[in-house]
Amino acid sequence: MTLRRTALGAVMLTAAVAPPPLLHDAKAVRRPQPINVGSFSTNSAGSRLPNGWQELTFRHVRRHTTYTLVADGGQTVLRAEAHDGASLLYTRTDLPSGTYRDVRWRWKVDRTPKGADLRYRHGDDAAARVYVAFRYRPVLVPLLQRWHYLLARNRYGEYPPYAGISYVWAHQTAPHTVLRNPLLSRSVEYVIESGEDRAGRWIEERRDVYRDFVRVFDFPPPPISHVAVMSDADDTGSQSVAWYGDIELLPAVLADDGS
């Protein structure tokens, strides 16, 4: 994906087609519980899309990533295969980022897109990405940019996210690299896996999204508005294959005690 499209600012979702957001009801429980935003394991293998998830395609990308729910090790997981193409899957949420600080998931790759290098626009492909996006707040945006958000809301039915963080399994960009999109500076990529040395193995991941946001922006994040995944290979004209397990958002009380 080009830098212009990988930003979660491109996720302009229509209220008419988007699934209802996952909500946090503070009055319903005294102690917040983990929320499985990507409950792929509860779906039937062979289905096209997970329940509550939608596909976002890009106007200038003719081929789309093939997402399929498949059986793996006795569980249903999401398989993503890209051949010189790209598309993104997303679900909507409405969760306080101060309560749900951590994101936890597992993933596996078979092939990373050859020639991909996230530092350059022509190489901006990745075998797997897990996105967390944050709700638009006018007070955080310069006045001129607020008009762009308003135009987007009028066209698509809701505001696009204010900012997005993506956790990436890259081809060759080194782990621990943090990249800010030069075109959309509020889109940030954290490389946490790279290459094919661990291909074919399920890898468990966990990140403190709240802390990662503060490190980049120097203030607490707005509420979480979307979670998404994407595997792409269009910029390099290559191929990538990956699998995603369930994606959870964990409340701070569990994030602190390591549960």
- Encode pLDDT of 155-167 as tens digits: 878 888 999 999 9
Looking at residue 12, its pLDDT comes to: 35
Structural tokens at position 177: 């690299």
Q: State the amino acid at position 203 in one-letter form.
A: I
pLDDT of residue 20: 53
Segments in the chain below pLDDT 70: 1-30, 181-184, 254-259
Dist. CA 2–CA 235, nearest whole Å: 7
Per-residue pLDDT tens digits for 217-259:
999 999 999 999 999 999 899 999 999 999 999 998 766 665 5
Q: Assess contact for 108 and 254: CB atoms under 8 A.
A: no
> According to CATH, what is the number of the domain 3-257?
2.60.120.260
Residue 242 near residue 80 (C-beta atoms within 8 A):
yes
Residue 162 contacts residue 135 (beta carbons within 8 Å): yes
Per-residue pLDDT reduced to its tens digit, 40-59: 999 999 988 999 999 998 88
How far, in Å, are 81, 169, 179, 190 from residue 111 at the CA level?
A: 9, 11, 22, 19
* Per-residue confidence (pLDDT) for residue 182, from 0 to 100: 54
Could you tell me where the beta strands, DSSP code E, fall in the chain? Answer: 22-23, 35-38, 54-56, 66-72, 75-83, 86-95, 100-111, 126-134, 163-170, 178-180, 187-194, 203-208, 224-232, 239-251
The pLDDT of residue 22: 56
